[in-house]
Amino acid sequence: MFDVPVDAWYVYLGLAVVSGATVSLAGAMPAAAPPDANGAARTVDSVAASQHASVGRHPMTDADAVRVGADTLSLRGPGGTTHAGLGYGPVVFAPEGTPLGRVLRGELPETVFDSPEHFERAVDERRVADPTWHRTERLLVRRVVWEGTDVVLVG
């Protein structure tokens, strides 16, 4: 009457397996929340949807790097990588240290480029470039219109 039932060891084995799986699953969870790619995409879309030249900023507090495609935005951080589609595009990535990057950061296109054709050529070259990861502390978005070239620069 006080003996352990014969099938009790199956219960203990099952509990051990479930406990081990739970511990390993909890250990695999990221310690930080994933970056907010949708919030960054909303910032880009709000500038792109504007009827006038405009500027937007999005802090990158939870992301270390950004990858900007013509119609997509990806953020990478300690919590993982997230992606978001852009409703208004295509956009052009303008890395820091390039002429387009200077325009993104506030210089007038006519002071950076010799002609509207040079500006349009630089935009076209960036549009066909493959997106790559870039480190940044904030996402800057600027809509620029100059002599027939209407572009949304992101960097």
Residue 119: what pLDDT? Answer: 94
Q: Is 119 part of any domain?
A: yes
What are the start-end ranges of the H helices in 75-115? 99-104, 109-112
Q: Is 20 part of any domain?
A: no
Give the chain's domain count: 1
In a structure prediction context, what are the per-residue pLDDT tens digits for the chain, which is 155 residues long?
566 665 666 777 777 777 877 777 766 666 677 899 999 999 999 999 988 888 999 998 889 999 999 999 999 998 899 999 999 878 999 998 999 999 999 999 999 999 999 999 999 999 998 999 999 889 999 999 998 889 999 99
Domain, as residue range, for 144: 37-154
Residue 34: what pLDDT? Answer: 87
Q: Is 66 part of any domain?
A: yes
Return the sign of the alpha-carbon dihedral for residues 45, 40, 59, 69.
negative
